[in-house]
Structures are given as C-alpha cells and as structure tokens.
Amino acid sequence: MLYFTSDYTTGAHPDVMARLVATNLEHTVGYGADPYCAEARQLIREACQAPDALVQFLVGGTQTNATVIDALLRRHEGVMAADTAHINVHESGAIEHSGHKVLVLPSHEGKVRPDEVEQYVSNFYRDETFEHMVAPGLLYITQATEYGTVYSLAELEALSAVCRRHQIPLYLDGARLGYALASDGADFTLADIARLCDVFYIGGTKEGALFGEAVVAADPARLPHFFPLVKQHGALLAKGRLLGVQFGALFTDGLYTRISRHAVLLAQELRNVFVEHGYRVALDSPTNQQFFILPNAVMDRLLPDVSFELWGPRGETETTVRFVTSWANTKEDIDALRSLLDKI
Amino acid sequence: MLYFTSDYTTGAHPDVMARLVATNLEHTVGYGADPYCAEARQLIREACQAPDALVQFLVGGTQTNATVIDALLRRHEGVMAADTAHINVHESGAIEHSGHKVLVLPSHEGKVRPDEVEQYVSNFYRDETFEHMVAPGLLYITQATEYGTVYSLAELEALSAVCRRHQIPLYLDGARLGYALASDGADFTLADIARLCDVFYIGGTKEGALFGEAVVAADPARLPHFFPLVKQHGALLAKGRLLGVQFGALFTDGLYTRISRHAVLLAQELRNVFVEHGYRVALDSPTNQQFFILPNAVMDRLLPDVSFELWGPRGETETTVRFVTSWANTKEDIDALRSLLDKI
Amino acid sequence: MLYFTSDYTTGAHPDVMARLVATNLEHTVGYGADPYCAEARQLIREACQAPDALVQFLVGGTQTNATVIDALLRRHEGVMAADTAHINVHESGAIEHSGHKVLVLPSHEGKVRPDEVEQYVSNFYRDETFEHMVAPGLLYITQATEYGTVYSLAELEALSAVCRRHQIPLYLDGARLGYALASDGADFTLADIARLCDVFYIGGTKEGALFGEAVVAADPARLPHFFPLVKQHGALLAKGRLLGVQFGALFTDGLYTRISRHAVLLAQELRNVFVEHGYRVALDSPTNQQFFILPNAVMDRLLPDVSFELWGPRGETETTVRFVTSWANTKEDIDALRSLLDKI
Amino acid sequence: MLYFTSDYTTGAHPDVMARLVATNLEHTVGYGADPYCAEARQLIREACQAPDALVQFLVGGTQTNATVIDALLRRHEGVMAADTAHINVHESGAIEHSGHKVLVLPSHEGKVRPDEVEQYVSNFYRDETFEHMVAPGLLYITQATEYGTVYSLAELEALSAVCRRHQIPLYLDGARLGYALASDGADFTLADIARLCDVFYIGGTKEGALFGEAVVAADPARLPHFFPLVKQHGALLAKGRLLGVQFGALFTDGLYTRISRHAVLLAQELRNVFVEHGYRVALDSPTNQQFFILPNAVMDRLLPDVSFELWGPRGETETTVRFVTSWANTKEDIDALRSLLDKI
C-alpha cells in the first residue's frame, strides 16, 4: 500500500523517536519546567530571531487554537477567519465553547485578503449599532492553508499592517508551517513570521513529532498569564519534557526544515506524475498537500493500492481527491504511483 | 415630531400601564409564582390552544434567545439561523457566550428555506468528518423577520416537517409575532405556531409592554429545568408579577391583536403614502416595518420633522430607510407625513 | 395580612410609579441613550462625588453580578466571596456560567475579614503550584450583607487597602445599599463607597423601583467595553429610559435615602417589639432585615396574619425567621404586629 | 540522586516504550479509529467485565475531568466533590471554564462520606429556594485520593447506592486507580469499579504511559455524542493510535497490575524505613504516595541526595513531605534511602 492520506498517519520521525527513547528513563520535573523544554525554547527563539519570545508547548492543534484565541480576545470580541478556516469548520465548536464567535471572511483558496479585512473592520465601526455586534478582536490565518496555499511575504506584511493599524493581533496557525516555509517561491522566513504575527504556532504533529505544537509570541507581553490558561484548557502535558525533547530534535541540525522540504519535493513530483498522465489539478498548491480531479474509474483503480482522501463527496463521474506527503514517503512511493497510473 | 423610529420608543400601551398602576401596591410573592403570572399563563395557553404548555416570562429578547437556545442545545450542537438573524448579528455574541455556534443559512429577505435547511442537515451527516464539526441541533427563525417579512403557514409547516424528520427542535423568535399574525394574508394562528414550533416566544417589548417576552413550549418536556436556567442567565425578574400583569393585560379583550393590527394597518397606509409620492419600496413587507429607498434630498427634508432610521449607511444619492409603526402612532401621523411629502 | 416577607413584594414606590406614568407616552431612543438616563447618571455621579464615573443601568441583581464580575476578571482568575455570598449560593451558577470560580472565604455573619482576605491572597502566591490554581482576581462583598449586617467605614477601608495592595479590584453588591447607608451607626457615605470600591451597584429593585440596578465605577477605565458586555449578558433593556426615569426619581429630593431610612426605623421598632415580648434575636442587624428565633407555637400563631420567611428549615421546637421592612410598611403594621404578639 | 518526587517524572515503562518504537513506522488512520485503539478498548472491556463499555482515550487528567464532567452535567447542575479534590484545587478552573460549579463536600483525608453526600442532596431539595441554587448533578471522587487513601468496596457501594437513589451519576477519577487496586486490603476489582461507577477513567500518565487516560462507561448511553465533545475540548489526539498502543501494552500480560503492585510494595517498604527510624507518618496511605512529618534538619540532610516534595509550606521546625514510588523505582532505591537515614 502507498500512503498519501495525511501527514499524521505514522508515529514520529526516527530522529525524534530516537531522542524520546534515549531520554526515556531520565527523571525531570513536570509541566515543561525541565531542561529539554528550556533548550527547545532557546532553539526556537534563535530560529525565529526573537530572543525574548514566549515559547509554550501544547499537545494538539485544536487545543492550541482554543487556548491562544481565548488568551488574546477580550470578552466582547470575536476572531476573524476565512470561512474555510479550521477553527470555523473542523474544531467541533472549540472556539465557541470558550465563548467566542468566529467572524467569517471570504476564503480565497483558504486565504483572506488584506483589503477585505480592512473593509470588515472599517465597516464594523461605521455601523451605528456596532456595540450590539461582536467586535473583530483578532485575525486568524493558516499558513499553509487548509488548501495547501501559501501567503507571500507581501501578503503577510499587508495583513500585519492592517491588523496593527487597527490594534488587532494577528495569529497564525502553523500546523503545516514548515511546508509553507519549504515551498518553492517562499519568500519569507520563520523570523518574518515571528516579526509580522503577534502570536503563531509551529506545528509538530504534522511535521515529524508524535504530537506537539509550539506557541511563539515574540513579545511575551502579548500572552500574560498564559500558563494557567493552558492548564485551564486541559492543554498542559504532565510529562511536559516530551514536547521539549521532540522540538529539540526538530530544531537541531535543521531537521524541521529537512522534513518539510523532503515532503514538498515529493509533492511536486507527485503532482507532475498526475499532470503527465493527463489528470487535472484542482488547486494550485506549492506545499505537501495536492488536490486532483480524478475520473471515478481511475480513482477506483487506485484505491486498492493507494491510500488517499476524497476531498468532499464522490462525484457522479469524477471526484476531487487529496494526496499528502510527509517524511515517511520516499521517491520509491512516487515511482510506484507512476507505475500504477501507467497501467490505467 | 412624527415618530416612526421603532416600536419601542415609548413606554407601555395605556391599558397595560393602567393595570401596572392598579396593582402597584399589592403584595405578591416574587419570581413569577404570583396569581397574575398564573392568570397570564392560562390566557396564553388558551390563545395557543396548548393547555399543557410551559409558559415562562423573561424580560428581553436577547436574554430570551440566549436562555432558550442554551436550554435546547446539547453541547456538541449549534443553532442554524439565517445569516441576517438577530442572534447572528445583533446580540453581541450572547449565543456564543453560552458556548454555542450559530450555523449560518442563506437569508431570503430574512427567511430561511426548508429545502436549504434539509440540504444543510443532510450534507452534514454525509460528511465523513462530521464528528469534528458542530452538529445542527436547532433551527432558529424570526416571525416577522428582521426585514418585516412573514413565513406563510405552508412555509412554517415545511420547516417544521424538516425539523421533525431530523429530530431537530424548531424555535421561533416572536419579538414581533403579533405583527406577523395581524398582517394581510396571514394564514396561520397562534395555535399553528404553538403546534409547529417546539418553542417560541411572544414578544411584549415591541408590542405594547414596558418589557417582557413570554416563552411557550406546547410540550413542557421540551424545556426541563428551565427555571434555574432562567435564573442562571440572569433573566429572572424579582418582581416577576410585573410580567404577569402586563401579559394579562395584553391577552385580555384581544388587546395584543388590536395593537398589532392597528400598527399593521398604519404601516400599509404609510407605505401607500410613499408609493403615491413615487418613492421605491426596498422590500415587500406586510408588517409594521416598512423599508424605502429615498433620494438623499428627500430624506434630508424629512429628518427635521420625522424620526426614522437609516437602514445601513447613507448612500451617495439615495439611502434605504426604515419606518416602523406601533400602537403609539395614529392616523393623524400618516396624514401629517403625507402633507410633508406633498410639499417636497 | 401584614407583609414582612421581603422588600420586593410590591410594585414601585408611588413617586417612582408616578414618574413612569408621567413619561409613559414620550418617545425616546432606546438602550439607555435617552435624556432620562443621562440625568439619572448625573444625579448618581453627584451623590457619589464621582464626577467622571461610569454609571450603567441593568435590570436585576444576578445579571448585574454576572456581568460586572465577567468584566473585571481575567480568564485565569476567580472571585473571592464569603461562603454565604449571594453569588455563591443563590444565583444558580450564573458566575460559573461565564467561566469563573467563586473562591470561598469564611463568612462572619455575611462579612469577610480583611486579614482573611490578606491571608488568602498571600498564601495563594506562596503555594508553589499556584499556576495550577484559580488566582484571586476580585473581591466581592455585599453591603448590607445577606444577613443584614453592615461593614463599618474602617472595615471598608481595610478591605480596600488589602485589595489595592494586591491590585485586586473590590466590587460591592449594593442590592440593599441604601439600608446600610441609613442604618444607625453607619459612618460612611455613598462617596466613601465610590472611593473605596472599584465598582459597586446601587440597588433599585429592593429600594422602591419596579426593577433596576445602577452600576458605578468612579474610574470608568475599570470597565472598558462594558456596554457590549451588558448586551452579551442579555442585560440591556430595550426601553432603557425606564431605568433612567426610576433612578432619576430615587435620586431626586432624597427619595432613596428616605425610603431606606423609613424601612430601617420600622425594622428597629419591629425588633423592639419582638425583644419586648421576650423572643430572641438570631443576629444583630441594624438594617431592614431582622432575624428572630421563634418557638414554633408562636410562629404558627402568627402565620395566618403575618407574612414572613422561614430562614432555613423549620426546627423541632423553634425556628429562625426573617422579617423585612420596606417603604410599603407603616407604623401601623408594627402596631398591629405588637397587638398580635400581645395576644399570644 | 534518589527520585521519589512523583510517578510522572520519567518517560514510559520500557515495555510501553518498546511497543511505541515497534509500531512507529506503521500507517494508521487518526483520531482513535485504528486497530490498536480497537484492541486496547477490547482489553479494557474484558478487564472491566463490561463487554459493551464505551472506552475513549484522552491525553491528560485535567482535560479528561473537564470533558467527562461537561458531558455528564446538565446546565443547571454542578459537580459534588471533596474540598481537596483535584478538580476543586489544581485544575486552574477547568470545570468552571465549561460553566459548571464545584459543590464542595467535607474531605476526610481526601474521601467523601456517603452519609454526607446523602445529606447534601436531601437538604438541597428540602430548601425552598433550591431552584435558585446549583443542583447536585454528579458526584466526583478520586481513587486513590490525592492523599493516597482508598475507598473500600463497602464505601464505593454506599456511594453508588446514594447516587443511584437520587439518579445522580458517579464519576471516579482514576489517575492512580492501579495503585488503589494494588493496595494491601483492596477488596474491589476493576469490574467492581465499572459496575458501581457510571463513568470512570483508568490513568495512564502516572501508571507507566508517556501520557493517556482511558475513560470507561459500562453503559455507553451514559456518554452520548462523547466524541465531538472530546474534540470540542481539544482533547482528541490526531495520532490517536499512540493511546491504543500504550494502553494495549499496559493491559497485556498484566503489566498495569504489575506496575501498580511494584510501586505499592516499594512504598510500604519506604514507609517502614521512615517508621523504623522514628519518623512520624502524616497520613495512613496504603498506596504509592506516602506522607511523613520530618524534622527540618533531617529534611535538609536528605535533600541533596533525595528528590521528594514538600507537602505544603516548610514548617518552623518540621515539615510534611510526600514520597511517591513508581515502576521506575527499585529495591535498591529503598536500601539507599535507608542508608542515608542511618547516617542522620
């Protein structure tokens, strides 16, 4: 079986796992106050060129979004996001559970546009009844988006500028941030992200860790009293060092970058394979997620040998599908896929 | 000054006020356990032909919506509503404050369509990831809507049928229910509403009371433990009898109906006045809210003598405006308005 | 029947009701932006000697507590209160509904002690695990308390000093504030309350209004964005002027003070009547609530003619009872009660 | 250094870690729908003699408590718990964050008494104002407790009987359940727990796993729609199989029992060592947590070589301390501790 279902269908990258094994019998204090977390925080600060940054490790994406958004919003405020945003669609109402409304912006293949953010905020305060409405108090974006698309540096700068003009924090969900950074044409660095966003997180779960997300705020004053809030949200891992150990591995010798670049390169090859065989690309993604429109007959021929995801319901004659690559895929996987397509 | 700004710019209808004055010095127990509330509950049960109905009085609309919706939804569920719905736009996030997401349906001049509700619910459960999404657990509609439009009996029956097929309660916000019942062409009664909706409320604030909304559930099992929830939401009036006294007045000798019909008739006259003068109707409303598109020059001529509301921002050359009638308006108000328009 | 059940068993004081009637047919804007609210705010600012104070009117006590506490607390914080506090016992979990824990302090006949507040806060930060616990973020007190007792000026100053030393706001629930101010021996003024508390409210419901509570913050910066929060809590009255009209009446010609003093004087007489007849006072209260321990036989003799409340369950041979006076009681009520006791 | 600080200072038991390594490169679906979770669920059902049980894996204790309690309580209800309960003290208000009040019962060395539960519930419904109060809707207990004490079978049966008489679910927090089961004198089995409690969880984090707690409800109807609620609480692990793999290891060949018994036996030896040396036991615990009162001089002599926890603040002359054993401790650790004490 060839696996292209998702980037979280295996355990950890071997180097991450090796470090977990190597440190397994050591005794440390809990809740992230251990030396491994301290070291990983320092590595991340350096990678972000943000020497004073608050770095807090959490376990998963939904809990990270819920906790950060709860920390950043005042009670009368909501969070602006694309209508396709993970927090608006696939978090079972975790944001609302903490009392906050998601304020929906148009999605352009997963991205929001600076002018539409500007318009939303400006119109809001122009409305005479605005005090009866939920104020836009935060902008949430994903990088890469749920559709594999990527904001350019210019777009990020424009979004950041709009937000700062209105004193609205910008929060970036980086569940797949590495793949965005490693994409062809990426003209921004982790340091740019740290500079332009008030808070963001570096995803571990989908980038080679067993689990774990690293929240970063270049200015720690952006997240006061964050630790008890993490605890309140049930997001504090008792054996917190497991997060430090893993992020330490990911940010040593460029592993995070290598994992990301490896997956992106394979994704581009995979895309070429489909294009060569005459299949249509559904969406132009430079990252490790690829979307194709396949005739149902072709899809059905692949399914016994290849694991991938239907993107939406099965169509009458053709269906949109998603292929995802990760560190666990190899060049051989792509070749095998090509051979399968050759036979169809 | 002619007042058409809203139906809640005065105090109470004189008959309601008279009864508050007449009972003012009496002593009764608090929190709605008094004889006036008991009597008003009985009158409402009769008007609804729902002899076993739970009838609970609350103070205002937003708190009523927040409390009822909180009572009806399970924690993993959200409430479907038109994107123009009061709960989605003008309640400062009160629904989300209780932890619930508003699931947005297309608005057709304030109304939702049964087929689109059906589609939303069906698609939801067809999605393989539905357990990661907020389940549709309730349908919220307004009657009359925020745009003065009215669901017909057939539409209400269709919505009710969709909801019951999926075991989803139907909740009707009747802040202006009387005006819908009194509108020309209304082919439904209060008893129909009670039969087709699981829960609804009869608005008092905009229909002649100082304040007050009467929540009705024909089957009281729909709202178990509702009393402590009302208290928890801060919606329990200490001197609860004030609500019973007022609703008792409204439901004696057809006052509620007379108030509503009076306003609707004036609204139709008012509409005719504008149409006669060649102005455009923005929206076809059979109720006490009327919407016109006025040239800015006309609007500016009216403003010194007539109080009404801009519906959205002032346009470059013309502006949509809202005129609302109530028991406090008279035939003379309409005549005076006609005279003003004659001179423009 | 003689009524001593509570201070909210009638409608409004006649002067308040008269003003509601007099203004009933006027048209004003809604939600508290009308001239009556403006005037009442100004009268309250003057009475509090707090010229810049934010004054916001809400409808009832529980919603006021829930809204103010929600406004003042950060998410990782809870509110300290006596274990007998209204918010801890009789608000159906309204504080927790907004996500906040009530941190319980010992109750001394309804009051908390400054040294115990100091100890609670100091111990909290001395605990190594304090970031896993709910931080004390606010102190809630009632004046007069649920037991009719009153904090002296020295006690208020000491509580305020503790709070300010720890940068913890002090919030006073003044549902019966007038009765405390009017009690014999009261050595503080409304201006002292405004100076020593960060936020407090002046109760209307139990002091002659139909309903209504006036939240006061001498420094408006204490309650930023309070208006949308009031709306979010369902506590914003559409016909907001009703609150302005009533508080305007209460703060004109000293009506609030007269109502309070009248009830306190009658309460002291009532107390004397019981003491003269040899019954025990359960609790030393200088305000309009009085608590006695009556033999069950005596209680049963009174019940057909006198309305009062059992304070806790009926005992085997004697029972604690509560008598409350208000503007609606007269000297004749006391005389009639004396006659009844004479005959027992 | 000898480590007795806690049972979560290392990674996983070697057998658990070995299985994580062995399965690391496999591909499985996410969110717990994989074969490892299915197998672990089955093993737990068998160990509980509850063939139909719902078994859901979560990551940590606080999130498990918050999610289960949120699932079991209706909105007007609170959860009864000892005042020393973890949910009342050390979860940063996670229960209140979901809108629920903790209703405090007296703690008897961490345990609640059936008669006091009975009294609480009975008194509640006897109070005439009970609908203004938070109803007891759930009983939370810990086994072993935060003080290392253990409920006997008779006590569990009595608590269960009280709860069922009042139709109140019983929820047991089993963060250290294995140590209770393995304690000398334990007269109950996992099957008894499953039979007597409506919901409970089997702790993994403190019992040899890297992380993970297994929620069990013998009757799955007790936790309807639990999956989306887990997601909503941010408690759903993407790579859910990690939990299945670990619990599969723990419930194979009696590993969970062996880990627990090993720690309990060492704890008893450790206790004997202190007693032999004349030190006082602070609390009679049959589990892996032991509490002693040590002279400060002795404590200070131990601290350079032994890691343990101060239980509360350092006293003037003596201090209460906590020693905890786990699978990671050995007989040699106890001998080494004895030697150290010999020299003091």
Which chain B residues have a beta carbon less than 8 Å from that of D131? 227-228, 231
Q: Are B76 and D229 a contacting pair at CB < 8 A?
A: yes
Secondary element (H or E) of residue C267: helix C255-276
Task: Tokens 């982790």: give the residue.
Answer: A190
Secondary element (H or E) of residue C332: helix C331-342
Question: What is the C-alpha to C-alpha distance for residues B8 and B4, in angstroms, rounded to an integer?
Answer: 10
Domain boundary among C228, C254, C280: C254
Torsion of CA B188, B189, B193, B195, to 10 degrees: -100
How high is the pLDDT of residue A312? 84
CA distance C237 to chain A (A): 12
**What mean pLDDT comes out for the span C26-42?**
97
DSSP secondary structure of D261-323 = HHHHHHHHHHHHHHHHTTPEEEE---SSEEEEEEEHHHHHHHTTTEE-EESSS--SSEEEEEE
The answer to whether A321 and A283 have CB atoms below 8 angstroms apart is: no
**Which alpha helices (H) appear in B277-315, and where do they start and end?**
296-302
> Are C45 and C167 found together in one domain?
yes
> Are D282 and D170 found together in one domain?
no
User: What is the token pair recorded at A101?
Assistant: 């409304």
Which chain A residues have a beta carbon less than 8 Å from that of D91? 231-232
> Are C201 and C267 found together in one domain?
no
Question: What is the C-alpha to C-alpha distance for residues D150 and D181, in angstroms, rounded to an integer?
Answer: 9
Q: Are C25 and B328 a contacting pair at CB < 8 A?
A: yes
Could you say which of D25, D205, D229 has the minimum Cβ distance to residue A11?
D25
How high is the pLDDT of residue B136? 98
> Are D226 and D294 found together in one domain?
no
**What mean pLDDT comes out for the span B294-300?**
97
Whole-model pTM: value is: 0.97
Secondary element (H or E) of residue C96: helix C94-97
The SS3 assignment for B310 reads: strand
> Are A59 and A73 found together in one domain?
yes
For an interface test with C, give the residue of D92, D95, D102 to mutate (most C CBs within 10 A). D92
pLDDT per residue as tens digits for the range D40-71:
999 999 999 999 999 999 999 999 999 999 99
Question: What is the C-alpha to C-alpha distance for residues A277 and B64, in angstroms, rounded to an integer?
Answer: 60
Question: What is the C-alpha to C-alpha distance for residues A108 and C140, in angstroms, rounded to an integer?
Answer: 49
Domain boundary among C222, C254, C286: C254
User: What is the token pair recorded at D24?
Assistant: 């690391």
Could you say which of A62, A234, A307 has the minimum Cβ distance to residue D231?
A62
Q: Are B132 and A91 a contacting pair at CB < 8 A?
A: yes
Question: What is the C-alpha to C-alpha distance for residues D29 and A313, in angstroms, rounded to an integer?
Answer: 19
CA distance B126 to chain D (A): 16
pLDDT per residue as tens digits for the range D165-182:
999 999 999 999 999 999
The answer to whether D2 and D337 have CB atoms below 8 angstroms apart is: yes
Residues with Cβ within 8 Å of D86's Cβ and at least 6 positions away in sequence, in order, are D61, D62, D65, D142, D146, D173, D175
Strand partners for B171: B140, B199
Largest CA distance in chain D: 64
pLDDT per residue as tens digits for the range D94-139:
999 999 999 999 999 999 999 999 999 999 999 989 999 999 999 9
Could you say which of A99, A135, A228 has the minimum Cβ distance to residue C99?
A99
Q: Which of A193, A162, A218, A178 is CA-nearest to residue A326? A: A178
Q: Are D24 and A5 a contacting pair at CB < 8 A?
A: no
CATH (domain of C125): 3.40.640.10
User: What is the token pair recorded at D38?
Assistant: 């299915």
pLDDT per residue as tens digits for the range A96-134:
999 999 999 999 999 999 999 999 999 999 998 999 999
First to last CA, chain C: 17
Question: What is the C-alpha to C-alpha distance for residues C282 and B19, in angstroms, rounded to an integer?
Answer: 40
Backbone φ and ψ for D128, nearest 5 degrees, come out as: -65, -20
Structural domain count, chain A: 2
How high is the pLDDT of residue A8? 95
Could you say which of C3, C205, C239 has the minimum Cβ distance to residue B239?
C205
> Are C159 and C100 found together in one domain?
yes
Q: Chain D: which residues have CB within 8 Å of chain C?
A: 75-76, 78, 89-93, 96-102, 104, 126-129, 131-134, 310, 313
CA distance C170 to chain B (A): 21
Backbone φ and ψ for C11, nearest 5 degrees, come out as: -80, -130
Percentage of chain A exceeding pLDDT 90: 99
Could you say which of D74, D134, D232 has the minimum Cβ distance to residue B76?
D232
Nearest-CA residue of chain C relative to A101?
C232
Contacting subunits of C (3+ beta carbon pairs below 8 A): A, B, D
pLDDT per residue as tens digits for the range C150-167:
999 999 999 999 999 999
| Burial of A343 from C-beta contacts in 10 A (0-12 / 13-18 / 19+) | exposed
**What are the Cα distances from residue D327, in Å, to A61, D10, D59?**
32, 10, 20
> Are A243 and A144 found together in one domain?
yes
pLDDT per residue as tens digits for the range B169-205:
999 999 999 999 999 999 999 999 999 999 999 999 9
Nearest-CA residue of chain B relative to C58?
B234
Average pLDDT, chain C: 97
> Are B290 and B241 found together in one domain?
no
**What are the Cα distances from residue A200, in Å, to A312, B80, C108, D184?**
29, 31, 48, 50
pLDDT per residue as tens digits for the range B239-290:
999 999 999 999 999 999 999 999 999 999 999 999 999 999 999 999 999 9
Question: What is the C-alpha to C-alpha distance for residues C177 and C204, in angstroms, rounded to an integer?
Answer: 9
CATH (domain of A336): 3.90.1150.10
How high is the pLDDT of residue B312? 85
**What mean pLDDT comes out for the span C49-68?**
98
Which chain D residues have a beta carbon less than 8 Å from that of B238? none
Nearest-CA residue of chain B relative to A131?
B92
> Are B185 and B135 found together in one domain?
yes
Average pLDDT, chain B: 97
- pLDDT of D312 > 90? The answer is no
Give the number of A-D residue pairs with CB atoms closer than 8 Å.
151
How high is the pLDDT of residue C312? 84
Percentage of chain B exceeding pLDDT 90: 99
The answer to whether D311 and D281 have CB atoms below 8 angstroms apart is: no
pLDDT per residue as tens digits for the range B83-141:
999 999 999 999 999 999 999 999 999 999 999 999 999 999 999 899 999 999 999 99
pLDDT band at C319 (very low <50, low <70, confident <90, very high): very high
> Are B103 and B77 found together in one domain?
yes
Strand partners for A292: A281, A321
Could you say which of A1, A27, A231 has the minimum Cβ distance to residue D9?
A27
Give the number of C-D residue pairs with CB atoms closer than 8 Å.
59
Could you say which of D1, D11, D237 has the minimum Cβ distance to residue A211?
D237
> Are C260 and C250 found together in one domain?
no
Q: Are B30 and C9 a contacting pair at CB < 8 A?
A: yes
Q: Are D93 and C102 a contacting pair at CB < 8 A?
A: no
Could you say which of A96, A126, A132 has the minimum Cβ distance to residue B101?
A96
Residues with Cβ within 8 Å of A272's Cβ and at least 6 positions away in sequence, in order, are none
Task: Tokens 């925080």: give the residue.
Answer: A41
Which chain A residues have a beta carbon less than 8 Å from that of C76? 225, 228-229, 232
pLDDT per residue as tens digits for the range C125-158:
999 899 999 999 999 999 999 999 999 999 999 9
Domain boundary among D254, D276, D302: D254
With the C-alpha atoms ordered C324, C330, C334, C336, is the resulting torsion angle positive or negative?
Answer: negative
Domain that holds residue C331: 2-7+256-342
Q: Are B91 and C30 a contacting pair at CB < 8 A?
A: no
Torsion of CA A218, A220, A221, A222, to 10 degrees: 60
Q: Chain B: which residues have CB within 8 Å of chain A?
A: 75-76, 78, 89-93, 96-102, 104, 126-129, 131-134, 310, 313
The answer to whether A271 and A59 have CB atoms below 8 angstroms apart is: no
What one-letter code names the amino acid at A104? V
**What are the Cα distances from residue A18, in Å, to A326, B333, C300?**
18, 84, 80
For an interface test with D, give the residue of A1, A9, A91 to mutate (most D CBs within 10 A). A9
Task: Tokens 């019983």: give the residue.
Answer: D170
| Burial of B86 from C-beta contacts in 10 A (0-12 / 13-18 / 19+) | buried
> Are B240 and B262 found together in one domain?
no
For an interface test with A, give the residue of D1, D2, D5, D9 to mutate (most A CBs within 10 A). D9
Average pLDDT, chain D: 97
Residue B133 CB coordination number (10 Å): 21
